[in-house]
Structure 1
Amino acid sequence: MSISDGDFRRMVDFIKSSYGIDLSQKKQLITGRLSPTIRKLGYKSFSEFVNHLLEKRDESEVTLVINKLTTNYTFFMREQEHLDYFYKSIIPALVRRHQRDKVLSIWSAGCSSGEEPYNISMLLFDYLGNQAKDWDTRILATDISAQALSKAQKGVYDLPDTIPSDWKKKYFTANKDGSYTVAPAVRNNVIFRPFNLMDPIAFRRKFDLIFCRNVMIYFDQPTKDALVRRFYDATVPGGYLLISYSENLSPNMPYRRLATATFQK
C-alpha cells in the first residue's frame, strides 16, 4: 500500500509534534510496517487512515502506530561498561548523599520492555546487600508504548548469557519453558507508568538519576535539546543523566560530562 507525499508529511508532522519521534527519512518504514495493519483494520488507503488518525486521535490507533514504528529493543546488561560505572561510582555517591533519609529517586525514561529498570534494581540490591531493606530505591519506569509496558509488568524474559549466574538464582524464577520471571522483590521495586517525553515533566520529586538510553535516537536535535533541558530542570543539584553510548549532548547543554554518556548537574 503506497502513501502520497502529502499524507506522509501529515503523518510525520503529527507524530513529531505529539511524540517527538522524527520519521522524516522513514517513508519506506512507514509503508512497510503499517500497510498490513491498515488493510486488516479495513482501511482502503493510507489517505483514509491518515485522515481518521488526525481527525479522531483515537488512542488505540495512535498507540498502534507508535508500537509499529519504534523498535522496543533492549536487553539485560546493555552497555555493561556503563552499568559498571553506575555501580562503582554513581551508586556509592548517591548512598553517601542519602545516608539520612535513605531514599533514592531514579527514573528510567523510555524503559521499553522493562529490562533496564529491573537491571538497575538488581545492581542497587547487590550494592546495598542486607541494608537494601532499609532503603527506598523504587524506580519510576515510563514508556510511551502500552505494548512495551505490558511486557515489562509481566517480567518474563529469555535471559542472555550476559546475566551473571548468581543473579539467575537471586533475582529470577525459572519457568518450565526455559524463560525466567523477575523475582517479586525486584518487580515491586519498579513502578511502571505511561508517559510521553514531549509532555511537561512534573513528577512529585526531582530525580537523583535519570536513565534515558537509546531513546533520543528517534529525535531530531532541537527536540533532543529541549528534552535534555527538561531533564535538567527535573534533576536535583548533583544529580545524573545517563544516555546511551550511541548518543551525545549538544555542547551548549547545561550538564557537565563525567564519562562516556554520563553527565552531572
Structure 2
Amino acid sequence: MLKVVVVDDEPLARKGMLMRLAAFPELQVVGECSNGAEAISAVKELSPDVVFLDVEMPVLDGFAVLKTLQQQQVKLPYIIFVTAFDQYALNAFDVNAVDYVLKPVETERLRAAVFKLLKAFEAEDDHRHKGQLAEAVAKLTGEAAGNILQRLDQEEPVMNDRFPDAISIKDSGEITRVPVGSIDWVDAAGDYMCIHTSDGQTHILRRTMKELEQELDPRLFVRVHRSAIVNVNTIAKLQMLPNGEHQLMLTNGQAVKVSRSYKDRVKTVFSS
C-alpha cells in the first residue's frame, strides 16, 4: 500500500477527497493537512509515497510547498495536484507531478490519476529492485553493474554461466588480483577469509565463507568444513583419523579437517 497525505485548506474538499480515496485498496491515508506549513511537516515526519496537494492555499500554495521541500533537501513524494484552475496544469508537470485533477473531483478522473500513479510507482520500484540486484551480483562476480542492468532490461539471465577467473582483494590501499586457479584452499579467521595460494602466499579477504563459496566454481572447489574450502585439484588423499574423524591431505602437505556434515560432499570428489 502507498502512504498518502491529503492537503487542502477547504475542510469539505478534504473530506470529499478522503472519502473517494477510501475506494482504492492500494492507498492508505496517513495524514491530512489544512495548509502548506502542515504539509511540509507531514512530508518530513510521515514520508508519504504520494501527496494529493491543493494548489490554491493561503500563505503557502502547492508550488511553494514543493519549493520549500526542495530547498530543505527533503525527498519529494509523488505529487498529484488538486486544483479548480487547469491553467496550473502546465506548472504541475514542470515540477514533475504525476498528474492533476480538477475540482470538483470526478470519480473517473481520479481513478485515472491513481492508475497513473500506481504505474509510475511500479516502474520506479522495479527499477530500484533491478538496481539492488545488479549491485549484489556485481559484488559477487566482479562484473560491472551496468552490464547486469542491461541484461535485466533485456530479460536475459542475471548471471553469466562462467565464474570469475580472479578475485580482487583490497589491502592497505592496494588491490591484488588473485587468479582463482592458483587458490589451494581457504579457511576462515573470524570476520576474514585466509586465501592460500600455490605460490605460498596468504591473502586476507573480508567476506563471509558463504559469499566466497558462491563465487567459486563448485566443479573446482568443495566446502569441507564450516570454515574451509579446498581446490579439488590440490587434494592428494582423504584420511580417517583414529578418533573417527576425516582430514584431507593436500599436495602441498597441508592437512585440512573434514567435518561430518561435509564428509559426503568430499567423498563425491573421489568418486567422480
Question: TM-score, normalised on structure 1?
Answer: 0.27
Instruction: Select the structure that is richer in helix.
Output: 1
Instruction: Select the structure that is richer in strand.
Output: 2
Question: TM-score, normalised on structure 2?
Answer: 0.27
Larger Rg: 2
